Structure 1
Amino acid sequence: MKALVNDRFSNVIYQSDLISRDLSWLQFNWRVLDQCKKSNRSIFERLKFLAITASNLDEFFMIRVGSLYNYLDYDKERVDYSGLREEPFKIKLMVESQQFHKEQHDYFVNVLLPATRENGFLLSNAKNLAEEEQEKIKDYYYKAIHPMLTPMVFDGYHTFPILMNRLLIFGVVTRNHGDKKENRKLSFVQIPSNIPRFFEVEREDMVVYIPIEEVIREHIVSLFRNVEIESINLFRITRNGDFTLEESEDVDANFLEEIKRKLNTRKTGRVVRIEVEEGYSKWMMNLLKGRWELQDDSIFKVERSSLMDFTGLWQVINNRRFKDKIPAIPDPVTPVSYPTEGADNIFQVLKRQDVLLHHPYNNIEPVFQLLEKAAEDPYVMAIKMTIYRLAKDSRITSALLKAVENGKHVSVLFEVKARFDEENNIREAKKLQKAGCFVIFGVSNLKTHTKLLLIVRKEEDRVTRYVHMSSGNYNEETSRFYTDLGLLSTNEIYANDVSEFFNVITGHSIPSVYKNLITAPRDMRNQLIALIKNEAQNAKEGKPSGIVIKINSLEDSEIIHAFYEASQAGVPIKLIVRGICCLRPGRAGLSENIEVLSLVGDFLEHSRVFYFHNQGEPRLFAGSADMMVRSFDRRLESIFELLDTVLKQQLINLLRYNLRDNVNSYVMQEDGSYVAKTVGPDEKPFNVHKEFFHVTMSIIMKAKLF
């Protein structure tokens, strides 16, 4: 894998005990890009991962680079974990980003493009088409595209237009016939986002994709009559999308209006990156750089033989003609903890036993079934839940609306600040509120990231509370390719804790001590550090010890230094961190006993699991939280301890399988780079994204970590 660049900043970076969050994120995107290079994948899978890297990079510039510019633009001090101040760090970040951008496009042009024809499609420009096909494109342009295009001139009489974030834009430099160069004018033609990325030409044995910019380029003179076109320049800008919401304690309708206003800043925020075709007008670029206060390192050049904005490749990937070229996800299997008899009545099942779901290997259907039955069941009195992200046309919304219609009390803590889902969440929340749900739009200045569901049901002479606690969102779409955990239970310990949690967030209450839940921002960091220190103390006393943790991101410095101290005490620590990891493993005198793995493959690893050896009486937790400052201090989070022996074994086996994987796994090096695990000469491939479909009770009960 790609190692850090050896430049004038590398020594400063390497000397730090912590790794830069942003540089670590770029390393994660290298691992995603590595999926494109796996020859056992079809070209459609490889294009899919390329599109994901492009989407990731867009978000990186909008949020992380945007955040850095918040410091640069307002002269605020910031020292990165690497030890670098704002400006040197920006230079370092742009060097790394430029290298990644170049690798993306080189691989696309040199490896993926040449393989398209043999796979039944081509990316081409209009000039390579037959005459009748060119006529179709011409007709399409003048009837469907030309009326939507609006040239916007910038000169002494016209103000600089608002150019939209992440749209393809033509910058057209013109002048009147006979005018001198200093009388140039610059016009912008933005390609609307509702025009398909490619014009598709269907042939009997082939689909030819013509990028929409090539269709427009071929006919753009129709927008500039009787003037001389000096140059036509395709570019794309990325704007700062990072904003911090300062909500008041008294959240009301004004808060929703504030959210809507801040969403608009993503359209007009400061420009942090320009992608532009090579051969661009230097006059135009100097004008844009001056206007947006950018340096050359923020200009990302794209070869004409490549493609600007790889996210558009989803149109190719999702073509029904190629549906059989992408391996289908196997059908979900029944959870090992789910009974074979009486499974049709979810209420009866959960009164007998707890059920642990591991998605996507187990279907999320039992959760939706529970909620939908609760909405119709005459004995259900109340439903309370937290919502972070929902699918479009969500079954969750439909079930809650049905529950209100049937006279049940419904309370929903709706997180309207879920990044890039704000508009959908506001729309769904308003729908529920209008129907009569009690909707809470966030709590103070915290983001609600915990995933909890409570159903209160009257049964004969008692009330039973049904609980679902999860690491993942209530989203039927992402549950098919995100790995997540969810616990369904009627255990009174869980029910009391979840009931108390909802009372705290919906009213004015200070929680008593939870028996099972560990919550943030209350005391999650301190409790996790206490668990780590307990393992360190056991190691110092010569007792058995060990820690295995699976999370998405590790960034909190207090937690990291607790791991360092435990390592120095002799605790074996294995961390499975999909994305950002700011801890340095394997450093002499600091972290020799720490190993860090990252799994990147067909499914997006999203579950969080925490294992502490505890002298052979292991304690296991799962939930929504990563080990990040924001998770501990600025979010409502929860993790829950597993109590049932079988379910604890299920989590132990989950961790054991992740550690065994030699197909999707990358080993983190001390310098922050990663090396892919390979299948040894005496080994068989072990791919967790396949093996979890074949887990049995026998396998689970034999699982051990230490």
Structure 2
Amino acid sequence: MEEENTISGNISRVYHLKDPSLYINRELSWIQFNRHVLEEAKDHTHPLLERVKFLSIFANNLDEFFMIRVSGLHQQLREGVIKAPPDGLTPGEQLDAIYKALVPLLEESVSVWNEDIVPALKNEGILIHSYETLNEGQKRYLRNYFIKEIFPVLTPLAFDKSHPFPFISNLALNLAVILRERGQKEELFARIKIPNKLFPRLILVKTDDEEHEERGKSEFIFLEEIIAENLDLLFPGMDVRAAYPFRVTRDADIEIEEDEADDLLTAVEESIGRRWVGKPVRIEVSSWMDQSVCAMMAEKMTDYPHMFYRLGGPIGMADLMCLLDLNRPDLKDTPFVSSVPKRIDNEPNLFNKIKARDMMLFHPYESFQPVVQFVLQAAHDPDVLAIKMTLYRSGSKSPVIRALLDARENGKAVSVVVELKARFDEENNIGWAKALEHAGVHVVYGIMGLKVHAKLCLVVRREREGIVRYVHMSSGNYNATTARIYTDIGLFTADPEIASDASNLFNALTGYSNYMAYNHLMVSPKYIRRGILSLIEREIHRQKEHQDGHIILKLNALQDAEMIRALYRASQAGVKINLQIRGICCLRPGIPGVSDNITVTSIVGRFLEHSRIYYFHNGGDEIVLMGSADLMPRNLNRRIEVLFPILDPGIRNEIISTILPIHLQDTVKKRMLRSDGSYIRVRSEENSIHAQEWLISHRGLWNDHLHEEPKCDILKNVDI
């Protein structure tokens, strides 16, 4: 349903719902999210090494942002694309805005490292040296280490009239070395690739004099500094004038012409290799690099002026994650043991429990092990006939896939839809796909033109009364590693109608079925958009008739313009709307006459908020949907996604009365979006509520106390 042409705002403004001023740019909204990650690195309530982790995540996020999002804008600019997104910014304007937003943010990240974290690490006995702070014994040790270990693998590449400019691979750390022949004035240029894939980025510093080693200290120096200080061994007879670290980020968004590919597996394999040779989109250089060197690089590699980023600290701070390997539990988050619901703890037959009643698992507060156990029991249960599963990101050491291999060895019919195009997980998925095929599993490589992002497992079992189907559905991947750091909600059910829907969906994924009449599941493309718009429209009608319209959406991202316009219409009608959007949010809350009934918050904390929950009051007959889909064009138009309803009243009550309120009422990690696109922290000294920490301490509440009143006092008076 399309919106009316205009809506009245305040006296001085009349808005059209497609007015660009009503939308926040997607890329700038993402930068705001990454700003929140950097803020966590500055937050002294986190243990010190956890702050290092957030700084590393901030840098890694930016690497992917440039490889995928910024590269796409560069491509649009080259191709002369003039169509602007809903916010109205052209590709060139977006690139300008990104640069202006990131320069101060990068300066802040360097300041956090240099002026805050490094001194704090030193106070804890973890020293990050520069060569100037080393003693003579340490310098001798590093000289010998360089000669024996590093020198043999280095390959200096000259650049002059007889040597072409060397190719700089994606995300490779380098030194730009400026040289002179002794007695000559002409400057020469050489490039050295830092072998940080072969050596740790931070090298442990020792001494050749045992008496001078201080016990209880961990001392490090960056690999590139060791190389820079020993260049005389690489260039004997030359004067080394300077050495500048730099790094190039390239377009890594691989494109696969599926309709022209005879073999999708081979096409993806071939395209992965091209990821590292795409066009440059960012050049990071040390702040002290001479401008003449920058100019030379610009001449050879850039086609847009805002590609250079000068940094006064280490380039490639994603590598700082290596410090998390230190055995310093006193500087890390206190570990906790994920709970297992009491009714299935050590349960030898999960199927009986699932058939008796639906069961929810909220990771990481509850263990992922029951999911593994579900597939493992299916693999070894003589009554199980078949297992069907979708795999998007399964990880490099997957217990779920090992269980599937066991199932095939035990004679089960196993079908797996492996999404080969899961970005940056293509190699993992190719390896697993080949292993599964080799074992005799029926492997399907996704759907032409679509990514299969749904998280679904179906087990078919022969029982006394006939065939019974068991289903697991989730917002998260079948990945035991990320299940410990992402918040995801999964559901086990044996509901016959949902099981029938799952069977029909798998038939559509693996065969030529074009089944559309699902009983309960919303499946994209097409049906999630239609279904959510219908539910929003229903709340608008309820509000007009009964003044009780209420919508809560907890998502990773809200970008789709049609969905935003529908929420604007609902707000105008008076529907109360609470949005908790972890990352990208293109909706502007708080605009008079448009979105003044909408609040938008975001939580960034110890765990990555990854669950998706859709709540509609529906006149008291409340509807709760969960699943894999965000409200982005890619989820609604270009992916196979599933939203599933929570039919069990006890589980639905726990989501409505516990899980949603605790997140909405957070006063420690929650930020609130303002209409200008900026965020403010929401803090309360009197009533401090830290959602993730509360869920750790109350883990299992939602399964062990189903059908009872919520057990948390702070939620008694919460009105969602």
TM over 0.5: yes
Q: Is the 8 A contact 2:552 2:577 kept in 1?
A: yes
Q: Is the 8 A contact 1:18 1:584 kept in 2?
A: yes
- Shift in CA distance, 161/190, structure 1 to aligned 2, threshold 3 Å: farther
Residues 1:130 and 2:135 are matched in the alignment = yes
Q: Is the 8 A contact 1:176 1:227 kept in 2?
A: yes
**Pick aligned residue for 1:551 from 555, 561, 569:** 555
- Provide the C-alpha distance between the structure 2 equivalents of 1:705 and 1:618, rounded to a whole number of angstroms: 14
Aligned with 1:234: secondary structure? strand
- Provide the C-alpha distance between the structure 2 equivalents of 1:402 and 1:155, rounded to a whole number of angstroms: 59
Describe how 1:490-529 pairs up with structure 2 within 5 A: 490-529=494-533
Q: Quote how far apart the aligned CAs of 1:275 are.
A: 1.1
Query: How high is the TM-score relative to the length of structure 2?
Result: 0.92
Number of the residue aligned with 2:651 = 647
Amino acid at match of 2:575: V
Number of the residue aligned with 2:60 = 55
Q: Quote how far apart the aligned CAs of 1:493 are.
A: 1.3
- Shift in CA distance, 36/342, structure 1 to aligned 2, threshold 3 Å: closer
Residues 1:233 and 2:244 are matched in the alignment = yes
Amino acid at match of 2:634: R
Aligned with 1:184: secondary structure? strand
**Pick aligned residue for 1:187 from 191, 196, 218:** 191
Structure 1 gaps of 5+ residues are 1-12
Amino acid at match of 1:99: P
Residues 1:270 and 2:270 are matched in the alignment = no
Number of the residue aligned with 1:308 = 315
- Provide the C-alpha distance between the structure 1 equivalents of 2:504 and 2:624, rounded to a whole number of angstroms: 22
Residues 22-31 or 453-462, more deviating: 453-462
Q: Is the 8 A contact 1:246 1:445 kept in 2?
A: no
Amino acid at match of 2:647: L
Number of the residue aligned with 1:176 = 181
**Pick aligned residue for 2:104 from 81, 99, 121:** 99
Number of the residue aligned with 2:13 = none
Q: Is the 8 A contact 2:553 2:615 kept in 1?
A: yes
- Provide the C-alpha distance between the structure 2 equivalents of 1:294 and 1:122, rounded to a whole number of angstroms: 40
Cα deviation, 1:155-179, whole Å, max 9, x if unaligned, reads 2222222212112101112243344
Q: Quote how far apart the aligned CAs of 1:587 are.
A: 0.4
Cα deviation, 1:479-517, whole Å, max 9, x if unaligned, reads 011100110111101110000000111110111411110
- Provide the C-alpha distance between the structure 1 equivalents of 2:684 and 2:447, rounded to a whole number of angstroms: 48
Amino acid at match of 2:161: G
Question: Alignment identity in percent?
Answer: 37
- Provide the C-alpha distance between the structure 2 equivalents of 1:88 and 1:569, rounded to a whole number of angstroms: 34
Describe how 1:607-686 pairs up with structure 2 within 5 A: 607-652=611-656, 653-680=658-685, 682-686=686-690
- Provide the C-alpha distance between the structure 2 equivalents of 1:368 and 1:671, rounded to a whole number of angstroms: 45
- Provide the C-alpha distance between the structure 2 equivalents of 1:44 and 1:195, rounded to a whole number of angstroms: 21
Aligned with 2:343: secondary structure? coil
Describe how 1:55-454 pairs up with structure 2 within 5 A: 55-181=60-186, 184-201=188-205, 203-248=214-259, 254-303=263-312, 306-320=313-327, 322-335=328-341, 339=343, 343-454=347-458
Q: Is the 8 A contact 2:48 2:120 kept in 1?
A: yes
Number of the residue aligned with 2:600 = 596
Aligned with 1:549: secondary structure? strand
Cα deviation, 1:380-400, whole Å, max 9, x if unaligned, reads 111100000012221112111
Number of the residue aligned with 2:588 = 584
**Pick aligned residue for 1:24 from 22, 25, 29:** 29
- Shift in CA distance, 506/557, structure 1 to aligned 2, threshold 3 Å: same
- Provide the C-alpha distance between the structure 2 equivalents of 1:223 and 1:98, rounded to a whole number of angstroms: 35
- Provide the C-alpha distance between the structure 1 equivalents of 2:547 and 2:276, rounded to a whole number of angstroms: 58
Q: Quote how far apart the aligned CAs of 1:435 are.
A: 1.0
Q: Is the 8 A contact 2:668 2:688 kept in 1?
A: no
- Provide the C-alpha distance between the structure 2 equivalents of 1:137 and 1:499, rounded to a whole number of angstroms: 62
Q: Quote how far apart the aligned CAs of 1:526 are.
A: 1.3
Amino acid at match of 1:100: L
- Provide the C-alpha distance between the structure 2 equivalents of 1:340 and 1:59, rounded to a whole number of angstroms: 40
Aligned with 2:145: secondary structure? helix
Residues 446-455 or 517-526, more deviating: 517-526
- Provide the C-alpha distance between the structure 2 equivalents of 1:311 and 1:471, rounded to a whole number of angstroms: 27
Q: Is the 8 A contact 2:232 2:238 kept in 1?
A: no
Q: Quote how far apart the aligned CAs of 1:262 are.
A: 2.0
Aligned with 1:465: secondary structure? strand
- Provide the C-alpha distance between the structure 2 equivalents of 1:416 and 1:270, rounded to a whole number of angstroms: 23
Q: Quote how far apart the aligned CAs of 1:266 are.
A: 2.0
- Shift in CA distance, 687/524, structure 1 to aligned 2, threshold 3 Å: closer
Q: Quote how far apart the aligned CAs of 1:344 are.
A: 3.5
Q: Is the 8 A contact 2:46 2:333 kept in 1?
A: no
Residues 255-264 or 470-479, more deviating: 255-264
Q: Is the 8 A contact 1:51 1:311 kept in 2?
A: yes
Q: Quote how far apart the aligned CAs of 1:283 are.
A: 2.3
Number of the residue aligned with 2:211 = none
Moved runs in structure 1, 4+ residues, more than 6 A?
701-704
- Shift in CA distance, 413/251, structure 1 to aligned 2, threshold 3 Å: farther
- Shift in CA distance, 561/346, structure 1 to aligned 2, threshold 3 Å: same
Cα deviation, 1:315-363, whole Å, max 9, x if unaligned, reads 212212x13321233212234xx52788332121112111100011111
Q: Quote how far apart the aligned CAs of 1:368 are.
A: 0.5
Aligned with 1:89: secondary structure? helix
- Shift in CA distance, 603/189, structure 1 to aligned 2, threshold 3 Å: closer
Cα deviation, 1:17-65, whole Å, max 9, x if unaligned, reads 1100000000001111111222222221111111110011111111111
Number of the residue aligned with 1:5 = none
Q: Is the 8 A contact 2:196 2:223 kept in 1?
A: no
Structure 1 vs Structure 2 CA RMSD: 2.0
Number of the residue aligned with 2:6 = none
Aligned with 2:447: secondary structure? coil
- Provide the C-alpha distance between the structure 2 equivalents of 1:692 and 1:699, rounded to a whole number of angstroms: 19
Q: Quote how far apart the aligned CAs of 1:688 are.
A: 3.2
Describe how 1:28-47 pairs up with structure 2 within 5 A: 28-47=33-52
Aligned with 1:357: secondary structure? strand
Q: Quote how far apart the aligned CAs of 1:114 are.
A: 1.8
- Shift in CA distance, 152/78, structure 1 to aligned 2, threshold 3 Å: farther
Residues 272-281 or 572-581, more deviating: 272-281
- Provide the C-alpha distance between the structure 1 equivalents of 2:105 and 2:72, rounded to a whole number of angstroms: 20
Q: Is the 8 A contact 1:231 1:281 kept in 2?
A: no
Query: How high is the TM-score relative to the length of structure 1?
Result: 0.94
Cα deviation, 1:463-486, whole Å, max 9, x if unaligned, reads 111110000000111101110011
Aligned with 1:385: secondary structure? strand
Residues 143-152 or 130-139, more deviating: 130-139
- Shift in CA distance, 270/342, structure 1 to aligned 2, threshold 3 Å: closer
Amino acid at match of 2:292: W
Q: Is the 8 A contact 1:171 1:189 kept in 2?
A: no
- Provide the C-alpha distance between the structure 1 equivalents of 2:346 and 2:96, rounded to a whole number of angstroms: 62
- Shift in CA distance, 185/176, structure 1 to aligned 2, threshold 3 Å: same
Q: Is the 8 A contact 2:349 2:377 kept in 1?
A: no
- Provide the C-alpha distance between the structure 2 equivalents of 1:200 and 1:190, rounded to a whole number of angstroms: 17
Aligned residues: 685
Amino acid at match of 1:541: E
